[in-house]
A and B are shown apart, each in its own frame.
Chain A
Amino acid sequence: MTTSASALSLALALAMAVAAGLVGCFAVMRRMTLASDAISHVALPGIGIALALHFHPVLGGLAALLFGTVLVWAVEHKTGIPTETVIGVVFSAALAVGSLLTSGEELIEALFGAPRDLGPAETVLGLMGAALVIGFILRARDRLVIALVSPDLARTVGIDTARMDLLFLLAFSLTVALGLRYLGVLLMGSLIIIPAATAKHLARSLTAMLLIAVSAAVLSTLIGLSVAPLVHLEAGPLIIAVAAGLFFGSLLVRQRARQGPAVPAE
């Protein structure tokens, strides 16, 4: 890989991490922790079909994610069944179908990610996708805050909560698609949720949560990508292991903060 290609590839990985940190904050606050993992599974049948038809697996994964998201949103709004239930059923079924369509090494790559060289067009498309997600979250953050506190209050200030739900789920799916190359179907949901869960422990305001989540996601990605070639391991699982380490570290910090400063002995 040339230096400029490496720089572009790194830029894309970091943009993905920023998008994951931002989307994750609202996913965690909306109590979508378990649903988030399930959402990423729907990429699998798309990847399987893409491999069978010889086109880019990430594009297949993205198409399946967007289709699955719209399906979940439509079922939820038509039937009133909670999002978690619909996501649990639709995306677990997708995992089963995807496993049947994909096999052997391809399945392992789809599940855990396998960084490959990207062409300039793919990189630019990825950067545009990340910019779209980051722009949406920053622009919609006030509406998202009001809707998560109370959908009824959101309606009184003119927020279309159904549309907001759809846009957020699409932003979530797009973020998962951005991370398929590095982290695969199983681990990308974790990069969205773990840094945000870390931030929720440490932050006392919205801005602080967004900043901590983005920092944790970027730091995990940087460390994972840097250490992987040195220890001859895949970057994806390393990125998530670092993110999980930061999460457990945040538990210690929170516990110390709750205990407060020790009272000096007389």
Chain B
Amino acid sequence: MTVPGGPAALEVEHLSVAFGRNTVIRDLSFRVEQGDCLAIIGPNGSGKTVLFKALIGALAYEGRIAWAPGTTIGYVPQKLDIERDLPITGRDFLRAKAAVSRAAPEEIVRVLGLVGLSPELAEQPIGTLSGGQFQRLLLAFALMGRPSVLLFDEPTAGVDEPGQEAIYAMLRRVQESEGLTLFLISHELSLVYRYAKTVLCLSRRRTCFGSPVEILTPERLHEVYGTNTSFHFHDDHLG
């Protein structure tokens, strides 16, 4: 499953990930161009987050994962279990990343501005932030040090519809200003249709890869999800 084009940000060949006898991803191959926006869709348990964890090297796998030379990865996980009274502020968390990645302290101000998080909120303990605020903080953490690739696991999980639009618009803005190659896991098919350039659908039944117009058809979605899945889209597809 490859789409020929510009220089590759990532090439995946015959990737398989298993937990004991349970093979979650089997013989997956795809290629993503630099500056592309890839959306990964599929039903629950199809291996989307497992794929991300294999891509960042957090899980053992078989096959080949080849990032372009010099790739640096920013990762925003789906959900973190943070104690409410953990005495670590947003600024502590970002300062730790700045120190470890040897970024200048001014980077903290820059990434907070990029994600629209106020300096006052960054002084609060991270366990007291709302879901949306904490997600912005994780995005700021990921963007620190100017990564070339951003992996974002369900950017709009638990966010209302106007909020989802705002998050995708922010991601589009950040992608353009930072020159990022963007990988998104999403269940919001109408947003995927509008913002992604390529779509990878994972499913125990069938795996497919291509442009949103090719992939997000009622027939393909039925094959992937096993139910009649529809979504609303506008004619202003940007991909």
Number of residues on chain A facing chain B (CB within 8 A): 26
Is B77's beta carbon under 8 Å from chain A?
yes
Q: Which of B87, B101, B123 has the most CB of A within 10 A?
A: B87
A152 contacts B53, CB within 8 Å? yes
Which B residues have a C-beta under 8 Å from some C-beta of A?
53, 56-58, 73-75, 77, 80, 82, 85-89, 91-93, 95-97, 99-101, 123-126, 138, 141-142
Identify which of B89, B99, B100 contacts A205 (C-beta below 8 A): B89
The docked-state distance in angstroms from the alpha carbon of A54 to that of B126 is 52
Number of A-B contacts (CB under 8 A): 74
Question: Which residues in B have their C-beta under 8 angstroms from that of A149?
Answer: 80, 82, 88, 93, 126
The docked-state distance in angstroms from the alpha carbon of A212 to that of B69 is 45
Question: Which residues in A have their C-beta under 8 angstroms from that of B141?
Answer: 153
Question: Which residues in A have their C-beta under 8 angstroms from that of B126?
Answer: 149
A209 contacts B87, CB within 8 Å? yes
Identify which of A143, A150, A156, A206 contacts B87 (C-beta below 8 A): A206
B53 contacts A208, CB within 8 Å? no
Identify which of A146, A155, A200 contacts B96 (C-beta below 8 A): A146
A145 contacts B96, CB within 8 Å? yes
Question: Which residues in B have their C-beta under 8 angstroms from that of A29?
Answer: 86-88
Which A residues have a C-beta under 8 Å from some C-beta of B?
29, 141-143, 145-146, 149-153, 155-159, 199-201, 203-209
A206 contacts B92, CB within 8 Å? yes
B100 contacts A156, CB within 8 Å? no
* Nearest Cβ on chain A to B85's Cβ, whole angstroms: 7
B77 contacts A153, CB within 8 Å? yes
* Nearest Cβ on chain A to B81's Cβ, whole angstroms: 9
The docked-state distance in angstroms from the alpha carbon of A141 to that of B100 is 10
Q: Which of A145, A146, A156, A199 has the most CB of B within 10 A?
A: A156
